C-alpha cells in the first residue's frame, strides 16, 4: 500500500469524528466524486496501521503557510509540494492520521491508463522521511499534527 493514493470510507469518519479530518465530498454538481485522496505509507512498528497524508490543489494557500513557517522556524516539514499527474499538489503532513485497510475503499487510478497513481520515488522518500520526523516530534510532545492521532490510534488498536 505504500506510495499509492487512496479514498476512505465514510465509516471512518463515523467511527472517528474529528473536525480536523478532511471530509469526503460525495456529490459535486450532482455527480459522485470521491475526494479527498490520501497518500499512504505503512507504520514502522505496526504493520496493520497505515498513515494517510491528504493532498490539496490549493497551492497558493499552502505556500503562504509554508513560507510563514520557514520565516518563523527556518524550515517547514509539515507541508511538502510535488507534482502529481502533471499538477503541483500540497501534501499536508500536518493533517496526517492513522488508518487500517478496513476503511480504505479504493485506490486512486490514472483516468487514462487505469494504473495506480504514484509520486516519483524521490518525492516518496522525502515525503515519508518528513512525515516520520513530524510524527516523532509529535510523540515527543510537539503539536505539529492537527488531528488527534492518539485517539484514532487507540480506537484502531482496540478493534483488533
pLDDT at 99 over 90: yes
Assess whether the previous peptide bond of 36 is cis (omega < 30° from 0). yes
Give the closest residue to 144 by CA, choosing from 61, 92, 98, 78: 78
Q: Into how many domains does the chain fold? A: 1
Percentage of the chain lying above the pLDDT 70 cut: 89
> From residue 152, how far is each of 20, 130, 158 by CA, in Å?
12, 21, 10
104, 7 contact by CB (below 8 A): yes
Residue 19 sits at the vertex; the CA angle it makes with 18 and 20, to the nearest 5 degrees, is 90
User: Does position 78 have pLDDT exceeding 80, yes or no?
Assistant: yes
When comparing pLDDT for 27 and 113, which is higher? 113
pTM: 0.87
| Segment 126-143, tens digit of pLDDT | 999 999 999 999 989 988
CATH of the domain at 113: 3.10.129.130
Q: What is residue 119's DSSP assignment?
A: -
Query: What mean pLDDT do residues 54-69 have?
Result: 95
Rounded alpha-carbon distances, angstroms, from residue 65 to 68, 73, 94, 113, 145:
5, 12, 11, 34, 14
Question: Residue 130 CA to chain centroid, in angstroms?
Answer: 12
Task: Quick: pLDDT tens for 24-60.
Answer: 554 333 434 456 789 999 999 998 999 999 999 999 9
Give the residue numbers spanning the domain of 95.
Answer: 5-158
Amino acid at each position: 500500500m505504500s506510495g499509492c493514493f487512496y479514498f476512505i470510507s465514510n465509516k471512518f469518519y463515523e467511527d472517528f469524528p474529528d473536525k480536523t479530518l478532511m471530509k469526503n465530498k460525495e456529490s459535486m454538481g450532482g455527480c459522485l466524486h470521491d475526494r479527498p485522496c490520501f497518500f499512504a505509507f505503512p507504520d514502522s512498528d505496526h504493520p496493520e496501521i497505515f498513515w494517510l497524508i491528504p493532498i490539496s490543489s490549493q497551492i497558493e494557500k499552502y505556500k503562504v503557510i509554508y513560507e510563514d513557517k520557514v520565516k518563523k522556524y527556518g524550515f517547514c516539514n509539515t507541508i511538502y509540494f510535488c507534482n502529481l499527474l502533471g499538477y503541483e499538489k500540497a501534501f499536508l503532513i500536518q493533517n496526517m492520521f492513522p488508518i487500517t485497510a478496513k476503511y480504505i475503499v479504493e485506490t486512486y487510478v490514472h483516468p487514462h491508463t487505469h494504473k495506480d497513481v504514484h509520486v516519483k520515488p524521490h518525492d516518496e522518500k522525502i515525503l515519508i522521511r518528513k512525515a516520520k520526523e513530524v510524527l516523532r516530534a509529535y510523540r515527543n510532545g510537539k503539536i505539529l499534527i492537527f488531528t488527534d492521532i492518539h485517539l484514532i490510534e487507540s480506537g484502531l488498536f482496540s478493534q483488533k
